[in-house]
Structure 1
Amino acid sequence: MSLLYDFAFIFVALFALGFTIFIHELGHFLAARRRGLLITRFSIGFGPKIFGWTRNGVEYRLSAIPFGGYVALPQLVDMGRLEGNEEKDGERKPFKSWDDEEENQKEKPLPKISYTDKMLVSVMGAVFNILLAFALACVLSLFGYDVPDSQLTTKVGYVSENVERWNPFTEKGEEVSGPAKRAGILINDQIISVDGAKVENFMDIQNRIVTGKQRTAEGRRLVNLTILRDEVQQQIEVFPEIVGSEGIRYIGIGPKETFFIDSLEPDMPAINAGLEVGDQPVRIDDQEIYSFVQLVSYLSSTEANQTISFTVRKGGENGEEMTYQLSPVEKEIGEGSEATTRKLIGFRPKAKIITTFPNPFVLIMRRVNDMYLTLSGLVSPQSDVKLRNMSGPVGIVNHLSIFAKIGFKKLLWFVVFINVNLAILNLLPIPVLDGGHMLFATIEKIRGQPLPLPFLERAQMLFVVLLFSFMLYVTFFDVQRIVPF
Structure 2
Amino acid sequence: MSDLPLSDLPFYLGAFILVLGVLVVVHEFGHFVAARLCGVKILRFCAGFGPIIWSRRYGPDQTEWSLSLLPLGGYVRMLDEREGEVSAHELHRAYNRQSVGRRSIIVVAGPLANFLLAILIYWGLFWHGSEELRPVLGPPVAESPAARAGIANGDRVLRVDGEAVQTWQDFQWLLLHKATQQNSVELELQPLGGGRVFRHLALGSLAEQGWEKDAFASLGLRFYRPAILPVVGGIQAGSPGAAARLQAGDIFVAIDQKPIATWDEVVEAIRQSPGQAMMFDMLRGANRFQVQITPQVIEEQGLRIGRIGVSVAEASLEGQPEIKGFVRYGCLDAALRAVRETWDKSVFSLVMFGKMLTGEASWKNLSGPVTIADYAGQSARLGLDYYLKFMALVSISLGILNLLPIPVLDGGHLMYHALEVIKGGPLSERVMAWGQQIGLTLLFTLMAFAFFNDLSRLLGPLLNG
TM over 0.5: yes
Whole-Å separation in 2 of the counterparts to 1:449 and 1:436: 17
Whole-Å separation in 2 of the counterparts to 1:42 and 1:25: 8
Q: Which residue of 2 aligns with 1:20?
A: 23
Q: Does 1:157 align with 2:138?
A: yes
Displacement of 1:107 in angstroms is: 7.1
Task: Give 1:368's aligned amino acid.
Answer: W
Whole-Å separation in 1 of the counterparts to 2:352 and 2:12: 32
Displacement of 1:113 in angstroms is: 0.5
Displacement of 1:189 in angstroms is: 4.5
Displacement of 1:435 in angstroms is: 2.9
Q: Structure 1 stretch 359-368 or stretch 331-340: which is displaced more? A: 331-340
Task: Report if the CA contact (8 A) 1:12-1:401 is conserved.
Answer: yes
Equivalent of residue 34 in structure 1, options 11, 33, 37: 37
Task: Give 2:140's aligned amino acid.
Answer: V
Whole-Å separation in 1 of the counterparts to 2:65 and 2:232: 55
**Distance 1:245-1:378 versus aligned 2 partners, 3 A rule:** closer
Task: Give 1:256's aligned amino acid.
Answer: Y
Equivalent of residue 375 in structure 1, options 344, 350, 373: 350
Equivalent of residue 448 in structure 1, options 424, 439, 442: 424
**Distance 1:370-1:340 versus aligned 2 partners, 3 A rule:** closer
| Greater fraction helix | 2
**Distance 1:328-1:246 versus aligned 2 partners, 3 A rule:** farther
Whole-Å separation in 2 of the counterparts to 1:188 and 1:336: 29
Q: Which residue of 2 aligns with 1:232?
A: 197
Task: Report if the CA contact (8 A) 2:408-2:436 is conserved.
Answer: yes
Whole-Å separation in 2 of the counterparts to 1:340 and 1:427: 42
Q: Which residue of 1 aligns with 2:404?
A: 428
Task: Report if the CA contact (8 A) 1:214-1:223 is conserved.
Answer: no
Whole-Å separation in 2 of the counterparts to 1:456 and 1:356: 51
Q: Does 1:71 align with 2:76?
A: yes
Q: Does 1:464 align with 2:449?
A: no
Q: Does 1:141 align with 2:126?
A: yes
Equivalent of residue 268 in structure 2, options 297, 303, 314: 297
Identity %: 23
Q: Which residue of 2 aligns with 1:281?
A: none
Q: Which residue of 2 aligns with 1:265?
A: 235
Displacement of 1:415 in angstroms is: 1.2
**Distance 1:472-1:145 versus aligned 2 partners, 3 A rule:** farther
5+ long unaligned stretches in structure 2: 237-241, 252-258, 273-277, 316-321
**Distance 1:304-1:448 versus aligned 2 partners, 3 A rule:** same
Task: Report if the CA contact (8 A) 2:235-2:311 is conserved.
Answer: yes
Task: Give 1:141's aligned amino acid.
Answer: F
Whole-Å separation in 1 of the counterparts to 2:98 and 2:114: 25
Q: Which residue of 1 aligns with 2:153?
A: 187
Displacement of 1:474 in angstroms is: 0.4
**Distance 1:373-1:136 versus aligned 2 partners, 3 A rule:** closer
Whole-Å separation in 2 of the counterparts to 1:5 and 1:271: 34
Whole-Å separation in 2 of the counterparts to 1:367 and 1:209: 16
Displacement of 1:246 in angstroms is: 4.2
The 5 Å alignment of 1:206-217 reads 206-207=172-173, 212-213=179-180
Q: Does 1:127 align with 2:112?
A: yes
Q: TM-score, normalised by structure 1?
A: 0.66
Q: Which residue of 2 aligns with 1:62?
A: 68
Q: Which residue of 2 aligns with 1:313?
A: none
Whole-Å separation in 2 of the counterparts to 1:457 and 1:325: 83
Task: Give 1:160's aligned amino acid.
Answer: V
Task: Give 1:378's aligned amino acid.
Answer: F
What is the RMSD of the two structures over their aligned residues, measured on CA atoms? 4.6
Whole-Å separation in 2 of the counterparts to 1:412 and 1:192: 27
Task: Report if the CA contact (8 A) 1:299-1:343 is conserved.
Answer: yes
Displacement of 1:403 in angstroms is: 1.2
Displacement of 1:27 in angstroms is: 1.4
Whole-Å separation in 2 of the counterparts to 1:204 and 1:27: 30
| Greater fraction strand | 1
Task: Report if the CA contact (8 A) 2:368-2:447 is conserved.
Answer: yes
Q: Does 1:255 align with 2:229?
A: no
Q: Structure 1 stretch 180-189 or stretch 467-476: which is displaced more? A: 180-189
Q: Structure 1 stretch 381-390 or stretch 239-248: which is displaced more? A: 239-248
Task: Give 1:180's aligned amino acid.
Answer: A
Task: Report if the CA contact (8 A) 1:38-1:73 is conserved.
Answer: yes
Task: Report if the CA contact (8 A) 1:378-1:386 is conserved.
Answer: no
Q: TM-score, normalised by structure 2?
A: 0.68
Task: Give 1:181's aligned amino acid.
Answer: A
**Distance 1:245-1:433 versus aligned 2 partners, 3 A rule:** closer
Deviations along 1:101-121, whole A, 9 cap, x unmatched?
Answer: xxxx66778441023421321
Q: Which residue of 2 aligns with 1:174?
A: none
Displacement of 1:369 in angstroms is: 1.2
Q: Structure 1 stretch 124-133 or stretch 206-215: which is displaced more? A: 206-215
Whole-Å separation in 2 of the counterparts to 1:198 and 1:308: 50
Whole-Å separation in 2 of the counterparts to 1:224 and 1:12: 37
Number of equivalences: 403
Deviations along 1:310-341, whole A, 9 cap, x unmatched?
Answer: xxxxxxxxxxxxxx999896644444888765
Task: Report if the CA contact (8 A) 1:364-1:420 is conserved.
Answer: no
Displacement of 1:470 in angstroms is: 1.2
Whole-Å separation in 2 of the counterparts to 1:328 and 1:156: 34
Task: Report if the CA contact (8 A) 2:345-2:396 is conserved.
Answer: no
**Distance 1:480-1:464 versus aligned 2 partners, 3 A rule:** same
